[in-house]
A and B are shown apart, each in its own frame.
Chain A
Amino acid sequence: MRTDAAEAGSPALWALAGRCADPNPNDWPQDLQRRLGRRPRRLGRWAERALHGALCCLEATGEATLPGDAALLVCSLNGAQPTLRAALADLAQGQLPLPYTFLQSQAAVLLSVLAAHLGWCGDAQAVARRDPLALLHAQLIDAPPGGLLIGWVEEAAPAVGLPPGAAGACTWHHHWLRWRRADAATLDRPLDDVPHCRDLAPADLWSPALTHLRT
């Protein structure tokens, strides 16, 4: 799973091939339906939102689908919590969950939704971590040759009152980035001018000015 550059001990260079950022268009459910060619069924709101972001990001990249040797990572602090809250409220009233309700409450099921609709089969994970830069860095240093599609997806904007220091708390509830390995020879600037992942502030990650990264 290691990149050749990293194996050789040199820093790896990554190009941001595409992004999809907040704010979503207000009509994103209709846009998702248009992209799929049909109404999404039984996916749940969180998965629909993630799928819409991933499709938009791949479109921005110019990729019809994700390469089989790319990795897919979804980061979410809340996951499918709204679905879970509703289901637990029903359970408290003695109503057992229906099969699709239970599946929609499982974060991992989002991965199969994405794989199915992207026509892709490969390495995907759902994780939660406060620091988006540390997460990105950890994924890039072990990314496969096809690079990384990474999304931060929350069903709703974060609630006010997150713990102090929560990185980018109000800015990353819907953001997808597609990273591909890059050759330093194609850069229009010295390699040393490319920021290292560790040197960025969280807000830099969402800035359109960010085009390349070193790890």
Chain B
Amino acid sequence: MRRRPVYLQGQGLACALGQTLPQCLSAWAAGATPPLQRRVLGAAVGAGELAVAFRPLPDAQAPCDDDLDGDLDGARWLQRGLHHLERVVAEAGADRRGALLLATSSQDIGRIERGGGWYADGFGFPEAIARQLGWQGPVLTVTTACTSAVNALRQAQTLVAQGEVPSALVLGVELSSRFTLSGFAALQLLAEWPEGAQVPTAGLVLGEAVAALSIGPAESRWRLCGAGHCVSGSDPAGPTGVAIGRAVQAALNQAGWSGSEVGHIKAHATGQPGSDVLEDEWLNRLLPHRPERTRLKALLGHTQGASAAAELALMTAGPPLPGLDADRPGLLALNLGFGGCHGALLLEDAAATARGQADAH
């Protein structure tokens, strides 16, 4: 069977900007900055209290710094997650016979650390989601850290393009976990928030998100046309320029594009000076015409494995992105993650092409 074109059919999002995609879009358009939460993690080894900044989902059940002793037990953690999942899936629209691809780094660690039991094996969480959604098709989890949603979209693209499934749904899920926050803090990656300070130090802020991207063969505004992923063994916790280049080039090759056709970039941009500079340098080298960039982690927080799904849900559901036109219809999404993971996606904006054709007439 020939490979058929694959399109983004729908989006759903709950994140720090709002509990629904329209709320998120309105907040983004209004330039709103979601409030930061101060999370006390405990006593660092040989030091005093360790507290960091966090961007929670703004619902009534949002965990606070003392939630391990509070009302949000394991069952309620799961209930909260499933509630958001059901809503974003309804927003995105989904055929339950298609493939369900879960992109997550921290899975349901937050549930377990609040007293929830372990499933019979490590696939219990995706299966709990599938049961809740009444899913009938195959279920797959991708765990490539912060490139998880990139790879879930790649897998979805393959399955739909080859006719293996009628459609696919990529779900990005990152919900509060003290272990994950503590782990990032142990690596000294997070913006810390000393007691008494009005604002945290500069740096990476983690956030919560539940995002859905529905993928199918029906023609729509956004075509998923290229993807690439490259793992480097040189640094398990940081990006390398060569691997960024390989991932972007692989995506361009699959799309059959040159870099000049990229008109806008969804940058990874976590807020860590070193990796952000490296990312910018390599994007400038690869795309010397310097397309416009959107950096969303300053608003959503870094939503890890869900970040590509969450950020793309927002960007593709919103108004036209600056820089996209008939000559440069490509949106490049770059995500970088632990494990030397470097992921790139290319989407073509048919509306930009159509605008160019209309202008020509």
A97 touching B340 by the CB < 8 A rule? no
A162 close to B144 (CB less than 8 A): no
The yes or no answer to A120 lying at the interface (CB within 8 A) is yes
User: What is the chain B residue whose CB lies nearest that of A108?
Assistant: B339
Q: Pick from A21-29, A82-90, A180-188 the stretch touching chain B.
A: A82-90
Interface-side segment among A54-62, A109-117, A200-208: A109-117
Residue B126 CB within 8 A of the other chain: yes
B235 partner residues in chain A, CB cutoff 8 A: 112
Please state if A129 and B232 are interface contacts (CB–CB under 8 Å).
Answer: no
Q: Which residues of A contact B1 (CB under 8 A)?
A: 9
Q: Does B199 contact A (CB under 8 A)?
A: no
Q: A32 interface residue, CB < 8 Å from B?
A: no
Q: Is the CB of A108 within 8 A of B145?
A: yes
B64 within 8 Å of A (CB atoms): no
Number of A-B residue pairs, CB cutoff 8 Å, is 184
Task: Find the B residue at minimum CB distance from A85.
Answer: B118
Given known pairs A77-B123, A125-B229, A138-B155, the reply for A99 and B140 (CB within 8 Å) is: no
Whether A163 and B120, one on each chain, are in contact in the complex, defined by CB atoms closer than 8 angstroms, is yes
Q: Known: A107-B143, A113-B236, A128-B122. Contact between A123 and B186, CB under 8 A?
A: no
Cross-chain contact A77 with B121 (CB below 8 angstroms) = yes
Question: Is B233 in contact with A79, judged by CB distance below 8 angstroms?
Answer: no
Nearest CB on A from B235, distance (A): 7
Q: What residues on B are CB-neighbors of A128 within 8 Å?
A: 122-123, 126, 140-141, 143
Check A120 against B158 for contact (C-beta < 8 Å).
no
Contact of B44 with A125 in the complex, beta carbons under 8 Å: no
* Size of interface on A: residues with Cβ below 8 Å to B: 63
Smallest distance from the beta carbon of A159 to chain B beta carbons, Å? 7
Complex Cα distance, B127 from A111, in Å, reads 24
Query: Please, which residues of chain B bring their CB within 8 A of the CB of A158?
Result: 121
Q: How far is the CA of A103 from the CA of B338 in the complex (A)?
A: 8
Known contacts A87-B179, A96-B185, A108-B338; A142 and B140 CB within 8 A of each other: no
| Interface members, chain A 162-180 (any B CB < 8 Å) | 162-163
Q: Which residues of A contact B246 (CB under 8 A)?
A: 121-122
Q: Number of B interface residues at 8 Å Cβ cutoff, please give it.
A: 64
Q: Interface with A: B105-113, B208-216, B271-279, B295-303, which one? A: B105-113
Main secondary structure of the interface of B (DSSP, over half): mixed
Assess whether B141 is in contact with A127, with CB atoms less than 8 Å apart: yes
B185–A162 CB distance below 8 A: no
A203 CB to closest chain B CB, in angstroms?
19
Residue pair A129, B140 in contact (C-beta under 8 Å): yes
User: In the complex, what's the smallest C-beta–C-beta distance from A155 to chain B, in angstroms?
Assistant: 10
Q: Is the CB of B233 within 8 A of A117?
A: yes
| Interface status of A35 (Cβ within 8 A of chain B) | no
Q: Is the CB of A159 within 8 A of B231?
A: no
Chain B residues with CB under 8 Å of A118's CB are: 233
Q: Max chain A CB contacts within 10 Å: which of B109, B158, B229, B339? A: B339
Which A-chain residue is minimally distant from B226 (CB atoms)? A1
Beta-carbon contact of B250 and A78 below 8 Å: no
| Chain B residue, CB-CB nearest to A94 | B42
Contact call A115/B231, Cβ cutoff below 8 A = yes
**Beta-carbon nearest neighbor of A166 in chain B:** B121
CB distance from B87 to the nearest CB of A (A): 25
Name the B residues within 8 Å of A142 (CB-CB).
158, 162
User: Is residue A194 within 8 Å, beta carbon to beta carbon, of the partner chain?
Assistant: no
Q: Which residue of A lies closest to B44 (CB)?
A: A96
A137 to B165, CA, bound (A): 13
Indicate if the CB atoms of B122 and A113 lie closer than 8 Å: no
CA gap between A8 and B20 in the complex, in Å: 43
Is there an interface contact between B105 and A106, defined as CB atoms closer than 8 Å? yes
A114 — which chain B residues lie within 8 A by C-beta? Answer: 231, 233
Q: Are B164 and A138 in contact (CB under 8 A)?
A: yes
How far does the alpha carbon of A179 sit from the alpha carbon of B108 in the complex, in Å? 34
B41 at interface by CB-CB < 8 Å:
yes
Q: Evaluate contact between A91 and B143: CB separation under 8 angstroms.
A: no
* A131 adjacent to chain B (CB < 8 Å): yes
B189-244 interface (Cβ within 8 A of A) = 228-237, 242-243
Interchain CB contact under 8 A, A124 and B242 = no
Chain B's closest residue to A169 (CB) is B121
Minimum CB distance partner of A134 in chain B: B138
Residue in A7, A87, A96, A126 whose Cβ sees the most chain B Cβ within 10 Å: A96
In the complex, whether B187 has a CB less than 8 A from a CB of chain A is yes
Query: Would you call A2 an interface residue if the criterion is a C-beta within 8 Å of the partner chain's C-beta atoms?
Result: yes
CB distance from B104 to the nearest CB of A (A): 10
Q: Given contacts A106-B338, A120-B233, is CB(A97)–CB(B120) below 8 Å? A: no
Pairs across A and B, CB under 8 Å, 6 listed: A77-B121, A106-B339, A112-B339, A127-B155, A142-B162, A162-B121
Beyond the given A115-B232, A129-B140, could you list 20 further A-B residue pairs with CB under 8 A, ordered by the A residue number?
A: A88-B109, A96-B41, A97-B182, A99-B186, A102-B179, A102-B187, A105-B179, A106-B145, A108-B337, A111-B339, A112-B341, A117-B233, A120-B233, A121-B233, A123-B231, A125-B144, A127-B155, A129-B138, A137-B164, A138-B159
The 7 closest A-B pairs by CB, nearest first: A116-B233, A108-B339, A102-B183, A115-B233, A112-B340, A108-B145, A78-B122
Using a CB–CB cutoff of 8 Å, the interface residues on chain B facing chain A are 1-3, 41-45, 50, 105, 109, 112-113, 118, 120-123, 126-127, 138-145, 147-148, 151, 155, 158-159, 162, 164, 178-179, 182-187, 228-237, 242-243, 246, 250, 254, 337-341
